[in-house]
């Protein structure tokens, strides 16, 4: 099987399972929807893009493909703890204002990541890919 694909599959499964475990410990409840939850610890966005970049590097070295993947990975990770997090915080404030003024509407509250969550996700993506490629 393609090692890159295998690394990506294992990465997303492991990260989401870790997220479910952490949410279970925090909330003392299990909900199947946690398997597809975005935001929180660890960042699945970061884990996936770092896994991809690592795979490309291990297969090709410092090529143009690696450089493109690295730039896109940095954009995704910056967006995860920047724009997405800010939008989530602003949505929470907006929901409070709407409730206070008794305005009924449905808003999707996207949860972003802290830099720590992004870093942990990136480390997990790197480690899983190295394990897949070398063991």
Check: CB of residue 112 under 8 Å from CB of residue 88: yes
Q: Where are the domains of the chain?
A: 3-85+112-134
Got the DSSP string for 14-72? Answer: HHHHHHHHHHHHHHS---GGGGG--SSSS-HHHHHHHHHHHHHHHHH-S-HHHHHHHHH
- 0.85 cut: is pTM over it? no
- d(CA 121, CA 19) in angstroms, rounded, equals 10
Q: 12-31, pLDDT tens digit by residue?
A: 999 998 988 888 888 787 77
- d(CA 8, CA 96) in angstroms, rounded, equals 38
Q: CA torsion sign, 25 to 122 to 124 to 132?
A: positive
Q: 75-127, pLDDT tens digit by residue?
A: 999 988 777 677 777 777 887 887 788 777 776 666 777 888 899 999 999 99
Check: CB of residue 62 under 8 Å from CB of residue 53: no
């Amino acid at each position: 099987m393609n090692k890159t694909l295998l690394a990506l599959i294992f990465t997303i499964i492991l990260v989401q399972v870790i997220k479910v475990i952490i949410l279970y410990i925090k909330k003392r409840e299990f909900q199947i929807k946690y398997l597809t939850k975005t935001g929180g610890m660890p960042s699945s966005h970061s884990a996936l893009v770092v896994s991809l970049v690592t795979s490309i590097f291990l297969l090709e070295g410092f090529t143009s493909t690696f450089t493109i993947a690295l730039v896109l990975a940095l954009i995704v990770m910056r967006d995860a703890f920047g724009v997405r997090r800010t939008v989530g915080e602003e949505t929470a404030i907006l929901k409070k204002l709407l409730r206070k003024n008794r305005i009924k509407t449905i808003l999707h509250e996207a949860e972003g990541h802290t830099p720590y969550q992004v870093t942990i996700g990136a480390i997990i993506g790197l480690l899983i890919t190295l394990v897949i490629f070398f063991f």
